[in-house]
């Protein structure tokens, strides 16, 4: 799928649609099944260590992965007896930093977003 506001492409499951594109700020909202996720320019690139440190302090089950051009971090939080799965993928593509992220109560949806975010490319 092409993401016009960012100039990137992403591999997503069948039935996924781009919902909103905010070209002036480089935001894309992508709707997949019942979950949405956001792809946007990241003005403040941080390191995997920064992401892990801030995540470890506030969340549980933190999983971190170094990518060739960035990182992926997943973690969980619990509120009112429900577990939220958070995904944050940061990539440097074509000299710019991008963030692809979501929060969902469904672990399978979190995994699908993680897999999709890792495919971002020009």
Question: Which CATH number goes with the domain that contains 63?
Answer: 2.60.120
**Contact call for residues 116 and 18 (beta carbons, < 8 A):** no
12 in any annotated domain: yes
Helix or strand (DSSP H, E) at 90: strand 82-93
Q: Which residues pair with 82 in a beta bridge?
A: 79
24 in any annotated domain: yes
Taking residue 85's Cβ as centre, other Cβ atoms within 10 Å add up to: 21
Task: Provide the number of structural domains found in the chain.
Answer: 1
Residue 95, Cβ density class (10 Å: 0-12 exposed, 13-18 middle, ≥19 buried): exposed
Question: Does residue 122 have a pLDDT over 80?
Answer: yes
Domain that holds residue 54: 2-117
Question: Does residue 95 have a pLDDT over 80?
Answer: yes
pLDDT digits (tens, 9 = 90+) for 56-92: 566 889 899 999 999 999 999 988 889 999 999 999 9
**Contact call for residues 64 and 51 (beta carbons, < 8 A):** yes
13 in any annotated domain: yes
């Amino acid at each position: 799928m092409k993401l016009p506001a960012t100039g990137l492409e992403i591999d997503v499951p069948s039935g996924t649609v781009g919902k909103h594109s905010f070209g002036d700020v480089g935001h894309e909202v992508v709707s997949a099944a019942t979950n949405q996720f956001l792809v946007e320019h990241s003005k403040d690139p941080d390191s995997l260590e920064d992401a892990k440190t801030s995540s470890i302090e506030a969340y549980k089950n933190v999983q971190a992965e170094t990518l060739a051009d960035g990182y992926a971090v997943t973690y969980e939080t619990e509120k009112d007896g429900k577990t939220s799965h958070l995904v944050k993928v940061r990539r440097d593509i074509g000299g710019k930093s991008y963030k692809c992220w979501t929060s969902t109560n469904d672990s399978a949806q979190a995994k699908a977003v993680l897999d999709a975010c890792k495919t971002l490319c020009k």
